[in-house]
Amino acid sequence: MQVDPGGRMAARRRARRRRRGRGMRGPLAPAGVPLARTRSEAFDALVLDAVEELEGHWAGELAAVEFAVEEVPPPGSTDFGPDVIVDRGVPLGRLLREGAGVRQPLIVLYRRPIEARAGEPEDRSDLVFMVVAELVAELLGRDIDELD
């Protein structure tokens, strides 16, 4: 022990290695495997899968449409028209049409409300596809059964 200028005893800290000289060797999962992806990255992948599936049949109509993911709906959004998919008073997705500050049609999905409603990964992918398909059907003026 050493005495510091204030007269107190100061313990010298020695850098110690973990038992057997090992510490954490690296990340728990290598990059690129599903375990290494964050929940937000996994959700983005579900949205891309849903969009790719719809673009296989409706590529021409969806060429000018942008898709986005936000964590939660903006506060105070209570205008629930046909351009909003709502479950128990909470928006899951929104269609923003051209005009009023929007250059091209934009479909926005809200990640946290969708994840809260679908516990299992299979349910989550189905719900994401359903929300995307309903908003695309609303944008194109078609019945949901034509798209699905």
* Residue 145: closest CA among 63, 134, 132: 134
Instruction: Say what the pTM is.
Output: 0.74
- Residue 17 inside a domain? The answer is no
- Residue 123 inside a domain? The answer is yes
Instruction: Kindly report the CATH number assigned to the domain that includes residue 116.
Output: 3.30.2010.20
Which residue range is the domain that position 117 belongs to? 38-147
Longest Cα–Cα distance in the chain: 82
- Residue 83 inside a domain? The answer is yes
- Residue whose entry in the numeric block shows the structure tokens 């992918």: 125
Domain count for the chain: 1
- Residue 11 inside a domain? The answer is no
Distance CA 85, CA 73 (A): 11
Q: Give the pLDDT of the chain (148 residues) as one tens digit per residue.
A: 455 555 555 555 554 445 565 665 556 666 666 666 788 888 999 999 999 999 988 888 888 899 999 999 988 776 778 889 998 888 999 999 887 777 899 999 999 999 999 988 889 999 999 999 999 999 998 888 877 6
Distance CA 35, CA 70 (A): 22
Rg over CA atoms, the chain: 25
